[in-house]
Amino acid sequence: MAEAFNQILTGALMGLMLQVVVAALVVGGQAISASMGLSMANLMDPNLGNVPVIAQFLIVIGILIFVGFGGHAILIGIVSESFNSLPIGQALLSQNAFGQVLRWSSMMFLGAVLMALPIMITLLFINMGLGVVTRAAPSLNIFAVGFPALILAGLLILLISMESVGGRIEWLWMQGFSHLRDVVGVPHG
């Protein structure tokens, strides 16, 4: 019974480490949606609950990138090699492994900021410009002009920056696999 618990704990820990990457995509998508004015447009995801549309888009892109660079094969390799580094009946994960998982969880916020910051800063400058225009011409209705302009500009900026966002998503997956190898003691290669 204790060995079954050990194997379940090892598998859950491995899944949790890769779930941090998905959480980074969700947090980054929420930040982008909030700065675009789309934070009220949510989709119901059975796995994650209410997720803004941009976050759902980033999750789909993240899954496609994961499958595209062979992440499923890498993950199966790590799981099969973990039976050599953590043989059944011999080793529990050390306290150091749990510390590494905790340190890795901060990547959820760092990854989200790395993905969302260029888009958010650009939208902030557009918002500031709209504020100056509204101050100069008070009769201009900011709600009639500002919201559609922010949504259109946000989608355009997201389209332009998809190459760098995709690179950051791939980097997050690779960092996740690297940390996962360190936690279970599988050599890199």
Q: For the chain, give every domain's residue range.
A: 2-184
Backbone angles phi, psi at 45, to 5 degrees: -100, 125
> 123 is written with which tokens?
């939208």
Span 138-154, average pLDDT: 81
- pLDDT > 70: what percent of the chain? 93
Dist CA 29 CA 138 (whole Å): 33
Backbone angles phi, psi at 112, to 5 degrees: -65, -40
Q: What per-residue confidence (pLDDT) applies to 52?
A: 83
- What per-residue string of b and e applies to 150-166 under the rule 16 or more CB within 10 Å gives b? beebbeebbeebeeebb
Higher pLDDT, 4 or 118: 118
Q: What per-residue confidence (pLDDT) applies to 63?
A: 95
Higher pLDDT, 13 or 25: 25
Span 141-152, average pLDDT: 80
For the chain, where are the alpha helices, taking DSSP H only? 2-36, 53-68, 71-85, 95-105, 107-136, 142-160, 162-184
pLDDT tops 70 at residue 189: no
Q: What per-residue confidence (pLDDT) applies to 22?
A: 92
Which tens digits make up the pLDDT trace of 65-120? 999 999 999 999 988 888 887 777 766 667 787 888 888 888 889 999 999 999 99
- Please give the DSSP secondary-structure letter assigned to residue 92: P
* 147 in Cβ contact with 41 (< 8 Å): no
* 54 in Cβ contact with 158 (< 8 Å): yes
> 160 is written with which tokens?
């332009």
Q: Count of CB atoms within 10 A of residue 176's CB? A: 24
Write down the mean pLDDT value for the chain: 86
Q: What per-residue confidence (pLDDT) applies to 58?
A: 93
Q: Count of CB atoms within 10 A of residue 57's CB? A: 18
Q: What per-residue confidence (pLDDT) applies to 25?
A: 94
Q: pTM for the full model?
A: 0.85
**Torsion, CA 109, CA 64, CA 46, CA 173, rounded to 10:** -30
Span 2-24, average pLDDT: 86
Q: What per-residue confidence (pLDDT) applies to 97?
A: 79
Count of CA atoms in the C-beta half-sphere (13 A) of 15: 6
Q: What per-residue confidence (pLDDT) applies to 43?
A: 67
Dist CA 23 CA 73 (whole Å): 22
Task: Categorize the per-residue pLDDT at 156 as very low, low, confident or very high, splitting at 50, 70 and 90.
Answer: very high
